[in-house]
Amino acid sequence: MRLVLVGPPGAGKGTQAERMAERLDVPHISTGDLFRANLRDETELGREAKRYMDAGDLVPDEVTVGMVRDRLGDADTTKGFILDGFPRNTAQAASLGEILKDKGLELDAVVQFDVEDEVVVQRLLGRGRSDDNEDTIRNRQRVYREETAPLLDHYRDQLVTIDAVGEVGEITDRVFEALKKHGA
């Protein structure tokens, strides 16, 4: 199964991706996690990404796309993957389309996590990551509306929309039910 997860910051993409990856036995590829791992390892890429993440802006496409292209070249992705937080704008979506086309692959579905801005602000403030302060969260929400939300139209034929408010396990059940209905 090859899936993309889309949703505003704090929608629970990472939380659900982990559970879905375990159930489907495919790797969970989170661009946010990959950037944070680079940051911890003090790589050049991590240093570059940090200033954008701290501001709640998107890391430049060439950096992000290169990182994802490398990751999708790893052997464990042949059985499928869950892309969490990528693509996040139409240019990244076009790059993903090319990467998959070169491999003769297609996405099975794009799962959209639907949740109100005010709900996620409370969730994120409770988590306390360094980019979880109110100003940065508001900017991440603006970036989502302006840059990421247009992807929903780009992926309209593959889109599976999930109400992302509720218990974590309940939401996972909704995802698998919706994927089944979609025929994925």
| HSE, side-chain direction, 13 A CA sphere, residue 123 | 18
Question: In this complex, which beta carbon is closest to ligand B4P, that of residue 26 or of residue 38?
Answer: 38
Among 3, 4, 29, 35, contact with ligand B4P (rule: CB under 6 A): 35
Among 2, 3, 4, 12, contact with ligand B4P (rule: CB under 6 A): 12
From the list 118, 153, 137, 136, the residue with the least C-alpha distance to 6 is 153
Orientation of helix 13-24 relative to helix 168-182, angle to 10°: 60
Residue 182 three-state SS? helix
End-to-end Cα, the chain, rounded Å: 7
Least separation, in Å, of the C-beta of 183 and ligand B4P?
Answer: 26
105 known ligand binder: no
Maximum C-alpha span of the chain:
44
Should residue 9 be labelled a site residue for ligand B4P when binding is judged by CB under 6 A? yes
Structure tokens belonging to residue 40: 């911890």
For tokens 């639907």, name the residue.
114
The footprint of ligand B4P on residues 119-138 (CB under 6 A) is 123-124, 127
Among 20, 29, 31, 72, contact with ligand B4P (rule: CB under 6 A): 31
For ligand B4P, the binding residues (CB under 6 A) are 7, 9-15, 31-32, 35, 52-53, 56-59, 64, 85-86, 88, 92, 123-124, 127, 140, 166, 168, 171
Binding residues for ATP: 10-15, 127, 166
